Structure 1
């Protein structure tokens, strides 16, 4: 049978047959209930996830009534019981699928949104087997062939055995087909199924996304398959190495459009419905499959463009307002940059990008949250502008890293995400060269990775394959270690190889493994072939960075030239959760300078070594120039003082990136009790002369911990007074260069630092700051149709004006949020509303996160965290979570991003905890979770307990010393 296969003949029949055939299952729901029951929708609980990209695991394995498991006494079950394993056996290899799906965009008479479909999977037998295991999750199968759920046929002359038994394994998410005979090696077969699924609003698999247009609810049928949700849309071999070609057909309502990975080739108006068939895809993994049915419109690239960039598909009002133009303009440029950088042609004929009202991640290849893709210069801030650029650059990078070449298994997810994250900064820098995106990567990724990888419970970038099996274990891989640390160590690799050499190695890697799957050693091999003059092989160097957790602190004694390394942990008394093959030692590239002159690079290949050139009596030494390596640096006390003196006298001699990193290193080293807290605080004295964004942002992030720990103590007032003196010059500087706040700085980073200046000035009580924000906000209240506040400043202005105001200001902000047609504007108001000091308003706001039509599901986690970050609201948030636990455990752990969202909430709410009472609350909460069987969520609370204990210890050790130092500085 050809590629059209059996399904093609079915799809090719007249429309009436299609409609009637697929409608019967819906109309006869009650009759089918007695024979076929939808797999129960049960609560799920993944372990952890990041980036964004979540996974669920059934909490209970309820057996569907549609299926009767084979009984041993009647018919012996297959001895191996392969269906109990989470990994697919290697007996069968998929070749292609024919999938037809019909999403119902209106609720049926039973109050459900469903989709109906049929699918055929062609596969080859490579090892003898009498068992077909194919992933299936929450799908209900029709009984067209009596008690069987599927039909098996042989292709190209193969004879298909009879189906002996068939059932669903809920826990391992399989449709299990036991055969009467073994399949023949080298022969090809065709498995056909008909099924029905729920078009739920759970943001996974084939789901529905809702929005309102002119007061009318609209429904979009869309997808999020990563990592294990393709099986929720149709039965498939749902593992990344099981690549295949997909033939997609979508049946959809009149006046809607269907999109998929490939270009549409046949479009039929069937009078009652439309039918869109798509070209076969390239050979690809199931998690990359995407399709959408909506009434969205698009703007298109010029006809002469080599790649048809039909960016953006979005709601009509957004496209008509021109919010898709920015992405349209930059996507082609980013594609061209990557084609040149990789020396590899873009692998597809077109690039569709769609902005979805609800989406679980920021973006996924072609699908984006609206804020991540749409940009309105009149409403969006420079941060929104940057996010639109970075999201686009990251997802286009995946067309090569992840799609063209895919990791073999999820334990090497960092190959996809770390590479895409790193090169996304290169693509963004090419499009916006004045923004210094390659430098900002240090703030956004490297420092983030430093913070996350400094705890004993961290994990390596690459785990053993056998340790990652279940959907929950797969979900564990989606965290900021994978994304940010992956990018950071690849940046380091590129630095010591040089960017041109690194690019040549990537090009060879892509060429060799195009449309295939890889492990990390494949990348090392290609880089080694283009590399010379390293002290060890790429494998020997890099395995130490990806196969063991953590990173070193390199200590340099400038009196002796002695250099040493030690595994850096914030809590020096903690023990890593796992052993290391390399005893927590690394091969460390140390690029260094002396008195402002770069001296070269030195490799530290052992625990301790001596490097005579670093020995000095009066000159200052700075290591890790431009933070080219993934490690922190400590110095002898004399060198710390010389660096502080240099910063105070002329900070411009030290590179901007390093000024930011000196602050970050010093405060974290003090937190780990490696240096005195007063050394770290002394570095901030120079900030009254600093005007650059990166050092200020780094300082604010570090000082935020002081605000969190001392917010209700006498230290807080002393901190306010000290920092008021440091930020006052910065506030005045921006007031002057913006003509008394009537203009916006031209520099991208200056625009960010203007926000820092106003925000910190208002927090610390700089004269005129709060009145400035109140005046702007009041002007808007008096004329709601004309907002005078520049988009860059809206978030901080909304926050400070609402904090200084009362019910009237809050109500106005809420009404503006509810009526906003801009995702960016809504996000800024969402934050501003959380800044109120009125507990009744904050309590009301938290309750809105549970409301169906109040705050969107995808925004609820952010709203809760915003209130938790408010010193007046953090305890209120804690009790809100406790009081609404039943709702939250289902809505967040199950349906709103899995454990990643839950983890963000718990860790965000508890990050201020530093008292014995708060520690007791967390311990009680953990016990309740364990008693209820929520082991994975209890682990998150355990992390919060450890953080709280560390906070208590830190406050006890540093409160008096910090107060003494602040008092002396203010004297």
Structure 2
């Protein structure tokens, strides 16, 4: 079990006294507010407080230099004191004050143990003003607290520091009381403000987003994941609103404070938990609910959305997903209720706050008359991801952010299992290959990648922490854990996981604790054999970056592995204790017959069974269960290409996708010739499954990006038209000329893709079809004739083919829709116009939250950059507005790093590389925040693009001409 702190009888009595005085303090806070509201929010507060509540004015020390060795100059807490409980009362004002600011006031009592000698209390606090008596410290039990001599804020490390008159007693328990005021800003961080309009009335929501380092913006706290405590939350709010928090409300009372009628909602104590999982919301939202055994499940959102049934689907799948996880983890859901809330403004896609999960509206609300099957799949996957965290991450929490990968990678893996249970006809498990594994390969094949688990000292300040929320942590983490589950078998993996969760419930761990429990499960399961310990195998996948390319020579049976790099000339500066070799589990087949799994433990080995002759062929990494790429001798490649052209269904769907993806990326790494990769696409005129097509188009999209501004593009477009035309005709027939709605998911996905590509490459009548059906909608806006599943591609193509009239119509529909997913489709479609002046106008809209919400701004900029016409406009815009963009999004947005990679995706010339380097130099003083690593990766990718173009342009053009002739 995790470490438990026991509260003595005297401590309990002390807490009771603090609770009784809470209401008096609330009343006092109202008076304090009127005195304090004129102050500049977030500036350091002067004065000092001690345990007798007297104070004297004192100068506020300036933030010391980076060379200082003072405890408050380190981003990590010193660990001298450890919290036990918090009593937090917050009062958000949902109307602006005389200065136009939305503020909140509050007070907090944190009870903590002293575990090391110290005469300082260092606690996180960011953009909060101390008010009234400020801070007071008292001892609990028979302990007398030292006086607070002075206090100050440290802006860089976001601390409130209290200098004490003497040291705290080791082993003693104290209570720190603070009163404070902050701004309920619209920055989507901490305790923030969300706005929306309903029936012409502006509505304000007070919401929270604490991950990763924003709880300190709501109240002073020990804001590190290992600093778990029990939270007692009370919210004061307008009587017309409802308050939510992690626990159930246990007391709701109407009262009057300073002449203002208010409602006071008190919530049950939370389980012992981390600050980043705390949540509270004040709104006029409504809910629908169900009960699963004794568990209350509720879906909350805007009145119009919930009353129109948009929460029904989420409610229907939540119960089954929770039941699945209870069985999978062999552990009951640890809370009394499960609230899920759709917020109009939310920075992340969703957040796993324990018992109060928050979502973007597009990630929770589903309208069956308007929303596509893609939206339904996304909603189910995100719900499954967040509910997986209720145990893995919330019940058992990683000690520090350097191991974030295990938390997010695990949820990203088991979301496929939860979704598959809720919707078994979707066959969703296979999609991890394209959505996670193939996607993250492109990042992990860079010399600037990073290991899953970094040393703690590499992840200390908030920007470094936010950088960890990347595709390595999520997608590589998911792929590596899937590989681990595959070679251990799913039952063994689940037993080890259950043991881990039940052992460390309500505590913190490091990733190796999971390896220990998985090893115990292996040891206790007859018939499970692995070549060495789980630790030895997995350390090579987690403690060094990258992955291998496994090369099999079927003439000799020789197998080799090598660190795979997209640019083989790049220099890997990060040293690996394992010399970039891995223990590789290879599942394989010979001529269609599954063989016994083979472990590659050395850089080179020989397996005589992999020798073949005649027409026999070898395929390694069957079902793409391993995190590696595969190369073969040329003869085996020829046999696989022949198989694709003559009997492609002899290979599984995901192995067909794997062959394409491996071949194209082996070209980029200069391992095989570019024509070999192109030849993997020749059979596509016979392919009807979505996953291989998606793999081919994703890889050909790189060719499009590289050649779109060159003379090669016309022939590439013509070749794509040849490949896609039969698929287009197949789906036109299957849908009776696009009138019949398809039900099989792979067909739905594929016919969306086929229309999109066919219109771009000029397939006969595709353009006329999208223009006609879009015009029908324009002529009768009340009734949209476009199938929900086809809207994304038809909107985009119709706007691209049209002019101002089509764009303006989309803008009006965007402003008027009450369905978030429809608004999202329209927002994206408007980036497709080919009119530069419209794109420039749209870029300006991204700076105005009244037009484009802050949560959508960077994504909209990226979408405009994906338009070949918009690319130079965005590049100029980003360089010109960088200081503003960075200030708005660079310090806390998980999606911010995507802005740099999105803008530079097409860069492939020396001139563009030098421009990016100049941009880096010109804005070094402003900084790049959570996009710092993305900037370095962009430079590396562009360097590789330049080399690839020099090596492959002529070969590709020659091959295309030959195929077209």
Partner of 1:961: 955
Paired position in structure 2 for 1:912: 906
Q: 1 CA distance for matches of 2:306 and 2:102?
A: 27
Residues 818-848 of structure 1: CA deviation (Å, up to 9, x unaligned):
1111111111111111111111111111111
Deviations 1:470-511 (A, max 9, x none): 222222211110010001000000000000110000000001
Secondary structure of the corresponding residue to residue 834 of structure 1? helix
Q: Report what 1:625 is aligned to.
A: 622
Q: Residue 181 of structure 1: SS of its match in structure 2? A: coil
Alpha-carbon distance, 1:892 to partner: 2.5
Which deviates the most, 316-325 or 262-271?
262-271
Q: Of residues 220, 227, 232 in structure 2, which corresponds to 1:242?
A: 227
Whether the 8 Å contact between 2:247 and 2:269 is mirrored in structure 1 is: yes
Indicate if the aligned counterparts of 2:44 and 2:152 stay in contact, CA closer than 8 A: no
Q: Does 1:22 align with 2:18?
A: no
> Contact between 1:590 and 1:603, CA under 8 Å: does it hold in 2?
yes
| Shift in alpha-carbon separation, 1:912–1:80, aligned structure 2, 3 A | closer
TM-score (norm. length: structure 2): 0.94
Instruction: State the partner residue of 1:93.
Output: 82
In the alignment, the residues of structure 2 paired with residue 636 and residue 80 of structure 1 have an alpha-carbon distance, to the nearest angstrom, of 58
- Matched ranges for 1:159-558 at <5 A: 159-271=144-256, 272-302=261-291, 305-310=293-298, 312-365=299-352, 366-531=357-522, 532-558=528-554
Q: Secondary structure at the match of 1:2?
A: helix
Residue of structure 2 aligned with 1:83, choices 72, 86, 109 = 72
8 Å Cα contact 1:590-1:623 kept in structure 2: yes
What is the Cα deviation at residue 944 of structure 1?
2.6
- The answer as to whether partners of 2:467 and 2:930 remain within 8 angstroms in 1 is no
- Is the CA contact 1:67–1:167 (under 8 Å) kept in the aligned structure 2? no
Q: Quickly say closer, same or farther: Cα 1:250–1:179, change in 2 above 3 A.
A: same
Q: Does 1:785 align with 2:790?
A: no
| Alignment match, 1:599 | 595
Cα shift at 1:970: 1.1
User: Within the alignment, does 1:742 sit opposite 2:723 as a pair?
Assistant: no
Counterpart secondary structure, 1:555: strand
User: Deviation at 1:81?
Assistant: 2.8
Aligned-partner SS, 1:299: strand
C-alpha contact (below 8 Å) 2:890/2:930 kept by paired residues: no
Residues 650, 80 of structure 1: alpha-carbon distance in 2 compared, 3 angstrom cutoff: closer
Aligned residues of 1:165 and 1:178 also touching (Cα < 8 A): yes
Is residue 577 of structure 1 aligned with residue 562 of structure 2?
Answer: no
**Alignment partner of 2:597: what SS?**
strand
Q: 2:112, 2:173 within 8 Å by CA — same for their partners in 1?
A: yes
- After superposition, what is the alpha-carbon deviation per residue over 1:883-935, rounded to whole angstroms, capped at 9, x for unaligned? 333322322224xx44x544322221111112233233223212211255658
The more displaced of 503-512 and 154-163 is: 154-163
Residues 89 and 722 (structure 1), Cα distance of their counterparts in 2 relative to 1, 3 Å cut: same
| 1:576-598 C-alpha deviation (Å, 9 max, x unpaired) | 23100100000000000011111
How far the C-alpha of 1:215 sits from its partner, in A, is 1.8
2:708 is equivalent to residue 714 of structure 1: no
Cα distance in 2 for partners of 1:716, 1:442 equals 29
Distance 1:274 1:655, change over 3 A: same
What's the CA shift string for 1:346-401, capped at 9, x where partnerless? 01110000000011100001000000000111111111101100110000000001
Other structure's SS at 1:712 match: coil
- Higher mean C-alpha displacement, 80-89 vs 92-101: 80-89
In terms of mean alpha carbon deviation, does 881-890 or 566-575 score higher? 881-890
Q: How does 1:495-894 map to 2 (within 5 A)?
A: 495-531=486-522, 532-618=528-614, 619-894=616-891
Partner of 1:47: none
8 Å CA contact 1:929–1:935 kept in 2: the answer is no
Counterpart-to-counterpart distance in 2, 1:177 and 1:723 = 67
Q: Is the 8 A contact 2:566 2:944 kept in 1?
A: no
Aligned residue number for residue 12 of structure 2: 2
Q: Distance in 1 between matches of 2:657 and 2:346?
A: 34
Provide the secondary structure at the position in 2 that maps to 1:953.
Answer: helix
Please state how far the C-alpha of 1:80 moved relative to its aligned partner: 7.3
Alpha-carbon distance in 2 for matches of 1:962, 1:592: 31
Shift of residue 93 of structure 1?
1.4
Give the aligned partner of residue 52 of structure 2.
none
Aligned residues: 926
Deviation at 1:173, TM superposition (A): 1.4
Q: Distance in 1 between matches of 2:210 and 2:757?
A: 42
Residue pair 1:205, 1:225 contacting (<8 A) in 2 also: yes
Q: With a CA cutoff of 8 Å and minimum separation of 6, indicate the structure with the bigger relative contact order.
A: 1
User: Counterpart in 1 of 2:946?
Assistant: 952
Alignment correspondent of 1:926: 920
Cα offsets for 1:28-70 (capped at 9, x unmatched) = 237x74xx863279xxxxxxxxxxxxxxxxxxxxxxx986247
* TM score, norm. by length of structure 1: 0.93
For the 8 Å contact 1:830–1:863, the answer to whether it is kept is: yes
Once the two structures are superposed, residues 151-196 of structure 1 have per-residue CA deviations (whole angstroms, 9 ceiling, x without a partner) of: 1111122221222222212222111112222222222110001000
**d(CA) in 1 for partners of 2:42, 2:881:** 29
Query: 1:936 Cα deviation (Å)?
Result: 7.2
Question: Secondary structure of the equivalent of 2:166?
Answer: strand
5 Å-filtered alignment, 1:31-110, equals 33=39, 38-39=42-43, 68-69=59-60, 81-110=70-99
The answer to whether the Cα contact below 8 Å between 2:890 and 2:929 also exists between their aligned partners in 1 is: no
Say if 1:936 and 1:229 are closer, same or farther in 2 by CA, change over 3 A: closer
**Structure 1 Cα separation of the partners of residues 696 and 469 of structure 2:** 28
1: distance between equivalents of 2:274 and 2:886?
A: 31
Task: After TM superposition, give the deviation of residue 523 of structure 1 in Å.
Answer: 0.3
Equivalent position of 2:100 in the other structure: 111
1:799-831 deviations in whole A, cap 9, x for unaligned? 111111111111111111111111111111111
Contact 1:37 / 1:66 at 8 angstroms: preserved in 2?
A: no
Give the distance between the partners of 1:931 and 1:488, measured in 2 at CA. 37
Residues 80 and 480 of structure 1, relative CA distance in 2, 3 Å threshold = closer
Secondary structure of residue in 2 paired with 1:352? strand
Q: Which runs of 5+ in 2 are unaligned?
A: 1-10, 46-55, 523-527
Give the 3 Å change call, closer, same or farther, for CA 650–203 of structure 1 in structure 2. Answer: same
> Structure 2: how far apart are the matches of 1:66 and 1:552?
63
Would the aligned equivalents of 2:108 and 2:219 in 1 still touch at CA under 8 Å?
A: yes
Tell me the SS of whatever aligns to 1:678: helix
**SS of equivalent residue, structure 2 residue 289:** coil
The partner residue of 1:11 within 10, 22, 25 is 22
Query: Conserved in 2, the CA contact under 8 Å of 1:7 and 1:119?
Result: no
